[in-house]
Amino acid sequence: MKCEQIGLLVDKYQLTMAQTYFKNNRMKHTACFDYFFRKLPFENGYLVFAGLQDLLEMLVDLRFDERDARFLIDEGFDRQFVDYLRQFRFKGTIYAMREGEVAFPVEPLLRIEGNLIETQIAETLVLNILNFQSLIATKAARVRYAAGERTVSDFGLRRAHGLGGIHASRAAVIGGCDSTSNMLAAFHYDLKAVGTMAHSFVQSFEDELSAFREYARFNPDSCVLLVDTYDTLKSGLPNAVKVARELEAKGHRLVGIRIDSGDLAYLSKKARQMLDQAGLDYVRIAVSNQLDEFVIRSLIEQKAPIDFFGVGTRLITGQPDAALDGVYKLSLFDSRPRMKISDTLIKSTLPGKKRVLRYSNGEGGFLADAIVLDDEQQIDCMYHPFEKEKRFKVAGLHQEDLFIKVMENGEIIMERESVEQIARRVRERLKMLPAEHKRFEYPHIYKVGVSKRLMDLRDSIVKQFRRED
């Protein structure tokens, strides 16, 4: 999606730092930053990496226009620096996992190389776009996992965070939704849009049957009737059955009914019975109302004969977490490895230019990921990132390099992928992730390790710092 004034979609400190680098003539220095996260949302066993295509396009469009320049000068920025920003284009190089990849804590998902100013200015965009879309794609993958083969649609726009709803619907489809109610997202990302009627439609007629008839008359082949405006079983269903028969008489078929309140397990079973008894076994049952992966799982466990789930608020806002804690950390300055040293190793970062290798068994099931230095082609053994004594032999396993170059000197060199392609990748990659990492309750922790050389590099930097201390 195109957004104006992308340059200003930035935390002020990025510009304050950039100006200081500019005045100090440090902008020729190069830097490398990693994007990674520490904690999986939803106590999930994996993350679905999403937002890459949008991020790259926004980086290409990133500039500061005349309005921005005037604003920055009003804000007290230096005229020379603002003139520099007016010329500014992001010319960095980016390596990343493919969009739709499953990813795990600590490992970099993306690496940006460029000069000190451009890599710094990109930070807010990287975090804003990737954190949010990955959060929602991951939530959607959980919803999809619960729903199995049933249809799932994103109905969340009305509870989405303002314009964030547009990216959210994209991410929801990447993670596993079949469609969305959000027309603007459907337009921008070529998603399937769905939607039929609200209670207000039914209420705007003198009675429910008239409303259903009028809707069916003008939408004879795409008619899903909302049956809970007055009384689902006593009024909505009998009226829907009448209208279905009238449609049949004219050579059409009622597509479905939707239930948006009450006990969805009970009502869907009763509805199925009533429809089947009327010979309407082809009419599908859709439900909505505060759904999430747990409600859907429970409905399916109860054998509720539901064909379609419309999932809104809890999907589109990524409840209960509402945020992914992804961070953007300096790992290299010019050619010198950099790390943030913390009291605890867990909060420290990994220095140097890195890649991620994935190991699988013969059948293609994922076993472990190793974070290695960029020039390491192969390793025999990986180490737990924080508990050195834990090691895992990877020699002989099938190895895959998860990092591809997606942008070079500011130009996107990755082939543009449709949301459908990315969504397919999510399905394929999740198929290769063993089931124990996909369950909702205490999923098995996926192994992520570091190479010996990376571990030694980190240790040497920490040791040097402690010595100086």
# binding residues, its own copies (CB under 8 A) = 104
Site for its own copies in 126-185 (CB under 8 A): 127-129, 131-133, 155, 157-168, 181-184
Placement of tokens 């993670």 in the chain:
175
Q: Which of 326, 346, 347 is nearest to 135 (CA)?
A: 326
Angle in degrees, 0-180, between the axes of helices 264-277 and 293-301, rounded to the nearest 10: 50
14 binds its own copies (CB under 8 A): yes
Within residues 402-431, the interface with its own copies by CB under 8 A covers none
Give the Cα-Cα-Cα angle 198, 203, 208 (nearest 5 degrees): 95
Task: List the one residue from 93, 313, 360, 399 that touches its own copies (CB under 8 A).
Answer: 313
Question: What mask, x for binding its own copies by CB under 8 A, covers residues 430 to 469?
Answer: -----------------------------------x---x
Direct distance between the N- and C-terminal alpha carbons of the chain, in angstroms, rounded to an integer: 49
Q: How far apart are CA 182 and CA 83, in angstroms?
A: 39
CB of 140 vs its own copies, minimal distance in Å: 14
- Would you say 322 or 413 has its CB closer to its own copies? 322
Shortest Å distance, C-beta 161 to its own copies = 3
**323 contributes a contact to its own copies by CB under 8 A:** yes
Give me the least distance between CB of 348 and its own copies, in Å please: 11
Q: How far is the CB of 258 from its own copies (least distance, A)?
A: 10
Do the beta carbons of residue 71 and residue 4 sit within 8 Å?
no
**DSSP state, 232?**
I
Among residues 53 and 133, whose Cβ is nearest to its own copies?
133
Among 44, 53, 120, 451, the residue binding its own copies under the rule CB under 8 A is: 120
Rounded distance between C-alpha atoms, residue 119 and residue 331, angstroms:
12
| Residue of the chain from 73, 115, 151, 201 that contacts its own copies (CB under 8 A) | 201
Q: Of the listed pieces 12-20, 101-109, 399-407, 413-421, which binds its own copies according to CB under 8 A?
A: 12-20
**HEC states along 453-469?**
HHHHHHHHHHHHHHHHC
- The residue within the footprint of its own copies, chosen from 148, 320, 364, 434 (CB under 8 A), is 320
Q: Which of 234, 250, 431, 467 binds its own copies (CB under 8 A)?
A: 234
Name all contacts of 272-278 with Cβ < 8 Å and 24+ positions apart.
Answer: 272/305, 274/233, 274/237, 274/238, 274/241, 275/237, 275/240, 275/241, 275/244, 278/241, 278/244, 278/245
Restricting to residues 342-401, which ones interact with its own copies according to CB under 8 A?
Answer: 342-343, 347
Select from 79, 83, 148, 198 the one that contacts its own copies (CB under 8 A): 198
**How many whole angstroms separate alpha carbon 433 and alpha carbon 443?**
12
Q: Which is nearer to its own copies, 254 or 324 (CB)?
A: 324
Strand partners, 368: 359, 447
State the helix-helix crossing angle for 164-175 and 419-432, rounded to 10 degrees. Answer: 50
Q: Considering the complex, what minimum distance in angstroms separates the CB of residue 386 from its own copies?
A: 17
Q: Which of 140, 143, 194, 448 binds its own copies (CB under 8 A)?
A: 194
Please list every residue from 236 through 295 that binds its own copies, using CB under 8 A. Answer: 261-262
* DSSP reduced 3-state for 204: coil
> Which of 66, 87, 149, 218 forms a contact with its own copies (CB under 8 A)?
218
Within 10 A of 466 (CB to CB), how many other CB atoms are there? 9
* Binding to its own copies, residues 33-62 (CB under 8 A): 33
Q: Which of residues 79-108 bind its own copies (CB under 8 A)?
A: none
Q: Check residue 66 for interaction with its own copies (CB under 8 A).
A: no
Q: Which of 214, 248, 376, 408 contacts its own copies by CB under 8 A?
A: 214
H or E stretch at 213: helix 208-218
